[in-house]
Amino acid sequence: MNFSQIFISRPVATTLLTIGIAFAGVLAFLHLAVAPLPQVDFPTLMIQASMSGASPEVMAATVAAPLERHLGFISDVTEMTSRSSQGNTQITLQFSLNRDIDGAARDVEAAINAARADLPSNLRSNPAYRKYNPSDSPILLMVLTSMTRTAGQLYDSAATVLEQKLSQIEGVGNVDVGGSSLPAVRIELNPDALAHYGIGLEDVRAALAAANANSPKGGIEEEDRYFQIYTNDQATHAADYRGLVVAYRNNRPTLLSDIAEVNDSVQSLRNAGSINGKSAVTLVIYKQPGANVIRTVDRIKAILPVLKASLPGGTEMIITGDRTATIRASLAETGQTLVIAVVLVIVVVFLFLRDERAMLIPGVMVPISIIGTFAAMYLLGYSLNNFSLMALTIATGFVVDDAVVVLENIARHVELGRSRLQAALDGTNEVAFTVFSISLSLIGVFLPILLMGGIIGRLFREFTLTLSIAVMISLVLSLNSDAEDVFAISPERERTAEKLVLSDQ
């Protein structure tokens, strides 16, 4: 057996390479994330501190100011903003784009611990911090409404049932519940009644604390038997508080209902939501970084019947905002533009070459170059978004250049009388450096965009690399397609070249 026969011929190797690139691209396309824009993570941390009853001025002076002094020593902080409200302070730290978010979190934790000595003693717990990406926007908005249940009851169902189940769905990163707060008992003291009975605020606080103490009650021993006493002293409704004894005056008990108005309400009266004139509780759903937005929303909608069945009767769940509607429309329009661009490139090549077989070159080269780019996008962690699809649309006019240049040079050698195989070898070798230079020049045009810094540079980085990868795949396919003349150079054109050679002889 001839030793050379054990090697795969170059046309077969080229065919296998093309099939491999196409297969890898199709497989990667099925797993690519879908998003409106490239994923850009802003290294941002949010610090929150709470102190019940403190005014915004007190929170700003005693909590926000000490924290800001210590947080200001952290390196690479580009922006620090704070907002103080009734009993709450929120500080947002934004770092430079190159800052590692985990390292920044460790620095923030150290700064909070260092500031603890300067914070008020009645601040019960250390300020908490969490990672926060301001570029993330909700993917789905839902509301709960009912004609028979209160806003507090709706919020309780949303926070204890829906929030837990939605957070477990693949692709869901965070679920925020708003529009109300958890049910609570509100006690509004009457100053005149307090003065009349001579009762101070501390007496009321102590009575309320004692009414909610979950303490052991002891037991009863009888010979060899021991009985444990169990009882629930915690009050959960307004009726449980009205009969609470606050103090004894004039040899009679003074009840809480004598000095205050006690009602079933919610923890915060300053949170409210409504839809169509009815009270409503909102659920704001965010995706995980890198998750497929469309598939995540489809999973949520698929589980909605199960979630509705777990809610109390008379509760209605309504989807008020779905971001995938605009994403689907935008991607569909961009994908349609991409298909039209590929078809136009093929038609233009046919109109100029006037050869059906020559039209197969862009018909194969352009789709394979674009499909192969999906594999590289998957390895780089990119997504199908408006920027990457725009890059592929622009690349359709670039990836065909290499194939046309190689094709025309091969055709020239066929017309000079060389065999089709020899024409493919010589024609490809002659223009290899030229095609390589063309591809590098195309990539060099977009190099300044790749080197841009800041947020704009991060957004356009995916666009630049996607386009460059498509051009490089086109270059590899063009330089390895020595058998292009097999399906590109028509027999009529070769017979014409043979006649020219015979006439010269």
Is residue 17 predicted with pLDDT exceeding 60? yes
Q: What is the pLDDT of residue 3?
A: 38
What average pLDDT does range 182-194 have in this prediction?
Answer: 87
**Alpha-carbon gap, residue 58 to 143, rounded angstroms:** 35
Rounded mean pLDDT, 384-410: 78
Long-range contacts of 193-199 (CB under 8 A, 24+ apart): 193/258, 193/259, 193/260, 194/259, 197/247, 197/249, 197/254, 197/258, 197/259, 198/249, 199/246, 199/247, 199/249, 199/254, 199/259
pLDDT on residue 480? 65
SS3 assignment, position 94: strand
CA distance 43 to 105: 10
User: pLDDT for 254-304, tens place per residue?
Assistant: 888 888 988 888 877 777 787 887 888 889 998 877 678 888 899 999 999
Contact 323, 140 (CB under 8 A): yes
- Strand 383-384, strand 33-34: pairing: parallel
Q: Which residues, in sequence order, are bridge partners of residue 248? A: 253
Q: CA nearest 261: which of 188, 207, 183?
A: 188
The C-alpha torsion from 289 through 290 and 295 to 296, rounded to 10°, is -10
Separation between Cα atoms, residue 337 and residue 348, nearest integer Å: 16
The structure's pTM equals: 0.65
Evaluate if residue 225 carries a pLDDT over 80.
Answer: yes
CATH number of 3-38+327-504: 1.20.1640.10
**Residue 78, SS3 per DSSP:** strand
Mean pLDDT of 91-107: 85
- The answer to which of 102-106, 290-294, 384-388 has the lowest mean pLDDT is 290-294
SS3 for 376? helix
Q: Map 422-458 to HEC letters.
A: HHHHHHHHHHHHHHHHHHHHHHHHHHHHHCCCHHHHH
Query: For the chain, what is the mean pLDDT?
Result: 80
Candidates 217, 204, 301, 302; CA nearest to 254 is: 204
Average pLDDT, integer, range 239-265: 86
Q: How many Cβ atoms from other residues are within 10 Å of residue 338's Cβ? A: 18
Cα gap 104→120, rounded to integer Å: 25
pLDDT at 91: 92
Averaged over 246-254, what is the pLDDT?
Answer: 86
- Residues 493-498 have a mean pLDDT of 48
For residue 291, count other CB atoms closer than 10 A to its CB.
Answer: 20
CA nearest to 25, candidates 474, 476, 368: 368
Element holding 497 (H helix, E strand):
helix 491-504
Average pLDDT over residues 52-59: 85
Considering the domain delimited by 183-266, tell me its CATH architecture. Answer: 2-Layer Sandwich (3.30)
pLDDT at 331 over 60: yes
**CB-facing half-sphere around the CA of 483: CA atoms within 13 A:** 12
Query: Cα-flanking dihedrals φ and ψ of residue 486, to 5°?
Result: -60, -35
CATH C-level class of 41-134: alpha beta
Write the CA distances from 51 to 62, 81, 84, 189, integer angstroms: 10, 19, 11, 21
Q: Is the pLDDT of residue 500 over 60?
A: no
Please give the average per-residue pLDDT across 490-501, as a whole number. Answer: 47
414-444 pLDDT per residue, tens: 777 777 667 777 777 777 787 788 788 888 8
Residue 67: per-residue pLDDT: 92
What is the torsion angle, in degrees rounded to the nearest 10, for the CA atoms of residue 389, residue 394, residue 397 and residue 403? -60
Q: Can you give the residue ranges of every domain in the chain? A: 3-38+327-504, 41-134, 183-266
- Residue 488 pLDDT: 41
DSSP class of 320: E
Q: Which amino acid appears at position 92 of this protein?
A: T
Residues above pLDDT 70, as percent of the chain: 86
**Residue 135: what pLDDT?**
64
Q: CA nearest 453: which of 36, 33, 40, 37?
A: 40
With a cut of 70, say whether residue 476 has pLDDT above it: yes
| Owner of token pair 């307004």 | 238
Looking at the predicted structure, is the pLDDT value of residue 487 above 60?
Answer: no
